[in-house]
């Protein structure tokens, strides 16, 4: 039998809480340290739907990337969505552990899983933070390919569904050197330019950030969405947990991307 505090010890050793940004909220959120753990569900987001999935799968622990309670709270009453989720977790006896920005900079971390999904090799941090850690990753594709082909591959392997990806750049440009960052990576656009990559793939890119980036001579960009670029980490961490502990750890099948479908207008000429 494995106790919760033993699993948390392993997770904390891989994703030390002190690596998290000062504003972040990581670590154990619900659960008693001495409660037994048999099954683990990995998720990007903690929602009523993913908690319901954990109950259906008889999971004792949810390992999540995004914090449930990121801002300071004075109440967890079930009158708010987050409070209701807290009550669901406690009433179901499900512990919750969060690894967020500490998992972003870890090696392996969120961007390593993204790079693995895209077949990027020979990697280094896009923005180093010390001792080999850092935000994002930069590496090379084993085989050079056109930007259009790389974008199509990314849309397929990153489970973007009907949303696809957004791309700026010459579709025929040959791509070799690639930078990636899981989640919201607009703040690392300067690093992608400085390193002279062929394309930078991340999520949550805004109009003005992209416009300024291109005006500064930056490389091609692919916005593959926030959820889609972080979801590969869930598979990696659950596989690791099973190997390290023998626990049944599995990936959530609930899509928590808030965007659900893409609609094209009639005027496609612009």
Same domain, 88 and 172: no
Same domain, 77 and 130: no
Same domain, 113 and 217: yes
Same domain, 132 and 87: no
Among 4, 81, 29, smallest CA distance to 258 is for 81
Q: How far apart are CA 235 and CA 250, in angstroms?
A: 7
Among 269, 244, 224, smallest CA distance to 115 is for 224
The pLDDT value given to residue 225:
97
Classify residue 260: in a domain, yes or no.
Answer: no
Q: Phi/psi at 239 (nearest 5 deg)?
A: -65, -45
CB 183 within 8 A of CB 158: no
Annotated binding-site residue numbers for a divalent metal cation: 65-66, 104, 226, 230
Mean pLDDT value across residues 16-27: 97
Helix (H) or strand (E) holding 213: helix 207-215
Distances (CA, A) of 34 to 9, 38, 248: 12, 13, 18
CB 28 within 8 A of CB 8: yes
Residue 270 pLDDT class (50, 70, 90 cuts): very low
Classify residue 192: in a domain, yes or no.
Answer: yes
CA within 13 Å, CB half, 13: 9
The pLDDT value given to residue 71:
83
* 173: number of Cβ within 10 Å: 15
Mean pLDDT value across residues 84-90: 97
- Does pLDDT of 56 surpass 80? yes
Q: How far apart are CA 143 and CA 174, in angstroms?
A: 10
Structural domain count, the chain: 2
Classify residue 258: in a domain, yes or no.
Answer: no
CB 227 within 8 A of CB 257: yes
Same domain, 154 and 55: no
The pLDDT value given to residue 190:
97
pLDDT in tens, 175-199: 999 999 999 999 999 999 999 999 9
Classify residue 150: in a domain, yes or no.
Answer: yes
The pLDDT value given to residue 268:
56
Range of the domain at 168: 107-226
CB 184 within 8 A of CB 226: yes
pLDDT in tens, 230-240: 999 999 999 99
CB 250 within 8 A of CB 229: no
Among 236, 241, 250, smallest CA distance to 10 is for 241
pLDDT in tens, 207-233: 999 999 999 999 999 999 999 999 999
pLDDT in tens, 102-156: 999 999 999 999 999 999 999 999 999 999 999 999 999 999 999 999 999 999 9
Determine if the pTM surpasses 0.85.
yes
Mean pLDDT value across residues 66-72: 90
CA dihedral of 58, 61, 66, 70, whole degrees rounded to 10: 120
Annotated binding-site residue numbers: 65-66, 104, 226, 230
The pLDDT value given to residue 263:
87
Q: How far apart are CA 90 and CA 76, in angstroms?
A: 12
Q: How far apart are CA 3 and CA 46, in angstroms?
A: 22
CATH number at residue 77: 3.40.1390.30
Same domain, 98 and 111: no
Q: What does pLDDT average to over the chain?
A: 96
Classify residue 231: in a domain, yes or no.
Answer: no
Classify residue 265: in a domain, yes or no.
Answer: no
Q: Using a pLDDT cut of 70, give the percent of the chain over it.
A: 98
Classify residue 63: in a domain, yes or no.
Answer: yes
The token pair that represents 186 in the structure block:
């607009």
* Residue bearing the bigger pLDDT, 3 or 75: 3
């Amino acid at each position: 039998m494995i106790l919760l505090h033993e699993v948390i010890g392993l997770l904390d050793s891989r994703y030390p809480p002190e690596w998290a940004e000062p504003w972040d909220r990581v670590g154990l959120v619900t659960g008693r340290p001495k409660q037994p753990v048999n099954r683990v569900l990995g998720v990007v987001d903690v929602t009523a739907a993913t908690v319901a999935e954990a109950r259906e799968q008889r999971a004792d622990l949810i390992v999540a990337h995004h914090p449930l309670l990121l801002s300071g709270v004075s109440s967890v009453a079930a009158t708010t969505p987050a409070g209701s989720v807290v009550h669901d977790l406690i009433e179901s006896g499900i512990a919750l552990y969060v690894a967020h920005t500490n998992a972003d900079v870890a090696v392996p971390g969120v961007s390593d899983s993204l790079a693995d999904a895209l077949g990027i090799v020979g990697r280094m941090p896009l923005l180093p933070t010390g001792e080999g850690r850092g935000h994002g990753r930069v590496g090379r594709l084993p085989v050079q390919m056109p930007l259009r082909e790389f974008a199509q591959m990314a849309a397929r392997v990153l489970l973007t569904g009907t949303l696809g990806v957004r791309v700026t750049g010459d579709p025929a440009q040959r791509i070799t050197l690639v930078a990636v960052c899981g989640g919201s990576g607009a703040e690392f656009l300067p690093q992608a330019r400085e390193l002279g990559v062929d394309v930078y793939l991340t999520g949550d890119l805004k109009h003005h950030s992209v416009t300024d980036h291109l005006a500064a001579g930056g490389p091609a960009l692919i916005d593959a969405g926030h959820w889609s670029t972080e979801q590969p980490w869930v598979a990696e961490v659950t596989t690791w947990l099973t190997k390290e502990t023998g626990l049944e750890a599995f990936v959530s099948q609930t899509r928590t991307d808030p965007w659900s479908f893409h609609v094209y207008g009639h005027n496609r000429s612009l």
